[in-house]
Amino acid sequence: MQLALYQPDIPQNTGTMLRLCACLGVTAHLIEPAGFPISDKNFRRAGMDYIDLVDIRRHISWTDFEFWRKASGARLVLATTKGAVPYPEFCFRPDDIILMGRESAGVPDEVHAAADARLLIPMRTGLRSLNVAVSAAMMMGEALRQLDAFPK
């Protein structure tokens, strides 16, 4: 199980998701460019004192990430407000990569089209979305629960 962040905008949210990955033993992928300089200093400032405990893989572009992902054979699972399947109804696999979009804009159509699955978090009508880090935690928690893959 892995978590990918598509061109993240906010270092504090990125730090929170990287801390999630560190605590759960999940590899994190940062798909650049980000909306802030990616550095250990920025993550530490965002409260990410676990930076040394997370496996972070950086990709210089969406194209670079997709080349790597296709070669690895991993399935891409996009978290999106435009999804058709509620995430608790989806059957996760150990090789899945859960992809979170930008806080400000989600992901472009090209990324939507590349996803093998598009999942949504069921919410009350009229509300736009949850915080991206909260959404990542909910989906990752469900995936790990289904796979009995929480750290022991």
Compute the distance between CA of residue 42 and CA of residue 110 in angstroms, rounded to an integer.
Answer: 29
Amino acid at 9: D
pLDDT at 48: 66
Instruction: Round to whole Å and give the CA distance between 29 and 15.
Output: 13
**Which tens digits make up the pLDDT trace of 86-122?**
999 999 999 999 999 999 899 999 999 999 999 999 9
Domain ranges, ordered by start, for the chain: 2-146
Which residue, among 26, 29, 31, 21, has the nearest Cα to 1 in the 3D structure?
Answer: 26
| Domain 2-146 in this protein, CATH class | alpha beta
On the question of pLDDT at 45 being above 70, the answer is: no
Q: Which two tokens mark 65?
A: 């990430």
**pLDDT higher than threshold 70 for residue 132:** yes
DSSP state of 109: H
φ/ψ of 76, rounded to 5, equals -100, 120
Structure confidence by residue, pLDDT tens digits, 68-89: 999 999 999 999 999 989 999 9
